Amino acid sequence: MNAGLTALVEQATSALMPHLILAPIALPLLTAALMLLLREEQQRLKLVLNMLSTALGLLVALALLLWSNQPGATSGMGVYLAANWQAPFGIVLALDRLSAMMLVLTSLVALASIVFAGARWHRAGVHFHPLFQFQLMGLAGAFLTADLFNLFVFFEIMLAASYGLLLHGSGRPRVQAGLHYIAINLAASSLFLVGVSMLYGITGTLNMADLAQTIPLVAAADRGLLHTAAAILATAFLIKAAVWPLNFWLVPAYSAATAPVGALFALMTKVGIYTILRLWTLLFSSEAGASALFGSLWLIAGGMLTMAFGAVGMLGSQRLSHLAGFAAILSSGTLLAAAGFGQNLLTAGLLYYLPSSTLAVAALFLTADLIDRWRNDGASYAPFEQADNAPFLNAELVPTEGLNLDADEEVLIGRVIPAAAALLGLAFLVCTLVIAGLPPLSGFVGKVAMLSALLNPLGLGSSAGTQPGGPGWALFALMVATGLLALIALTRAGIRHFWATHDRVAPQLRVLEGLPIAALLALCIALTVLAAPVMRFTQATADALHSPGTYIRAVMQAKPIPGPTTPGNAAVPQEAP
């Protein structure tokens, strides 16, 4: 039954290709334009339109994912020539397994965020829904574009929408964090333009596939300038990936944002990781001649420093939203360091870990909002200290014999936990397991896959005692140590918010608030249950990334559609200007 349905979806998708590749960009654009025509008082209608559009975008992304991973297909590549000009002269969109996976991840987090926002947060300011859709448009465009200029365009669309979303809800903390966020991203955009301009001056092209063909042919005298341009461009992406020491803006900004915006922003650092992974494996692969694997040690070192910073930041955090922000930094550093090794098996492991950690961090942002509201009971501040934290203990701090009553003479042992409190506790527990990389959930599976690749980079039975080297051992130790620090930090927060509060009223949760959190964490569990097929998918994705010839041929050999013919006249194919 499932196989038949999958085949039917693949057939329908194939019939709509390659035009369906444009849908993840066009759908949010049209939805945002429609919502801008509606009055601000029509919040309920805008919410419904936002949810429907995001859900439809998820269905499109799933269809593209299935199409890119068809059985027997070697490349899973789709190319859309937007202006019907052959690459590298026209605008090109390219779909492969990696971009399809990122589209699905974006749609899942976005749908959970907008459902959560529907309970209360979407009414906290104006133009929330159009900005939300423009954000999705920018994210989808960044994942699908095949040239650097349009990557810059989609980055700016994404950032412009994020400025408004960060300020949604107003308040001094959001304005202050927003000014820092805007300033650092404007600086990153400037570096982006400088790097792109230098690359264009050296190679004469901005198409990614054409750049990959041109870079090995760059003259030796221009090689240093090429590497400088690539380093400047990479700095812009590393700022978005929250690499240390350029990540000082992330935690204040993400923690100041409203909960659904913070969950959506969990994707923003992954855009930087995606872009670095895409461009580095494409432009500086082992086939790039004298520039092969340029910058790999910088990626490894930067990633490991970011991991250490994120773990120590988690250990020193008191607020849950700060914990979630530092968890995003820790995840980004882990991915960046693993990507720098340029190994197929290690890349497959990090591609499995990427969606798992993103889903958990997004769920933690949403859960933190509910826990803080529960702790404060609607007030702006509530002290952690209680007058009598343990009324059932005697002077020696041990349980009193025969006493099963608290200060209000209510039974302690056997008391029923409210369903809402149980949901928050379980959600926080699952987030802790995934982020810290503990068994049996997907965070553990992803980390074990990466650790196994570090110890055995050529595969079981063929490495014959291959050692990971100094950087490999350092990353191995850091992954274990940072997981331990994350566990300590999250466990301490869990004790403070759940175990050390005996006289708190039951939390009041709405279905629209509990459902998206449960769905995100259920996806983490599903990744664990389906670990084998998901790892096969990520391995195929990693193999394609480290064999860029397939991507280059698919983009450069895509032919424009011939123009319409009239009786007695043959169609004249368009040629490049």
The pLDDT, as a whole number, for residue 294 is 86
In a domain, 395, yes or no: no
Tell me if 267 sits within 8 A of 377, measured CB to CB: no
Q: Determine the Cα–Cα distance for residues 553 and 556; give it in Å rounded to an integer.
A: 5
**SS3 assignment for 425-439:** HHHHHHHHHHHHCCC
Q: What share of the chain is helix, strand, coil (3-state, %, to 5)?
A: 70, 5, 30
Q: Is residue 391 part of a domain?
A: no
Can you name the residues that pair with 92 across neighbouring β-strands?
81
The number of angstroms, rounded, from the C-alpha of 465 to the middle of its chain's C-alpha atoms is 35
Q: Give pLDDT, residue 316.
A: 87
| CA gap 220, 51 in Å, rounded | 53
* DSSP for 262-327, written as a single string: HHHHTTHHHHHHHHHHHHHHHHSSTTSGGGTTTTHHHHHHHHHHHHHHHHHHHHT--SHHHHHHHH
Q: What does the pLDDT read at residue 391? A: 44
Cis peptide bond N-terminal to 88, omega within 30: yes
pLDDT of residue 387: 38
What distance, in Å, lies between the first and last C-alpha atoms of the chain? 50
Q: What is the DSSP letter of 80?
A: E
Give the count of domains, the chain.
1
Within 8 A by CB and 6+ apart from 329, the residues are 242, 244, 247, 250, 251, 269, 306, 309, 310, 313
Q: How many CB atoms lie within 10 A of CB 537?
A: 21
The verdict on residue 402 lying in a domain is no
d(CA 308, CA 324) in angstroms, rounded, equals: 15
**Distance, CA of 244 to CA of 408 (rounded, Å):** 50
For the record, the structure tokens of 72 come out as 């027997």
> Exposed, middle or buried: residue 98 (CB in 10 Å: 0-12, 13-18, 19+)?
buried
Assess if residue 393 is contained within a domain: no
**Could you tell me if residue 260 is inside a domain?**
yes
**Distance of CA 175 to CAs 121, 171, 320, 534, Å?**
17, 6, 20, 41
397 found inside a domain = no
Element (H, E) at 93: strand 92-95
Phi, psi dihedrals of residue 75, rounded to the nearest 5°? -105, -40
Rounded CA Rg of the chain: 25
Residue 275 belongs to some domain of the structure: yes
434 domain-assigned: yes
* CA distance linking residue 265 with residue 110, whole number of Å: 10
pLDDT tens for the chain, residues 1 to 577:
466 666 676 677 777 778 889 999 999 999 999 998 988 778 889 889 999 999 999 999 999 998 888 765 555 788 888 888 887 888 889 999 999 999 999 999 999 999 998 888 877 778 888 999 999 999 999 999 989 999 999 999 999 999 988 888 777 888 888 888 888 989 999 999 999 999 999 988 889 988 988 888 888 888 889 999 999 999 999 998 889 888 888 888 888 888 899 999 999 889 999 999 999 988 888 777 788 888 888 999 999 999 999 999 999 888 888 899 999 999 999 999 999 888 888 899 999 999 999 999 999 999 888 887 776 654 433 343 433 344 444 444 454 554 444 444 454 444 445 667 778 888 888 999 999 988 888 889 999 999 888 887 666 444 444 456 788 888 889 999 999 999 999 998 888 877 765 556 666 777 788 889 999 999 999 999 999 999 999 999 998 888 888 888 888 887 887 766 545 445 444 544 4
CA angle 253, 256, 260 (to 5 degrees): 100
Query: Which pLDDT does position 10 carry in this prediction?
Result: 67
Contact 20, 125 (CB under 8 A): no
pLDDT at position 62: 93
Predicted TM-score of the model (pTM): 0.86
d(CA 256, CA 325): 10
- 3-state secondary structure (DSSP) of residue 415: coil
**Range(s) of the domain holding residue 199:** 17-375+415-459+467-557
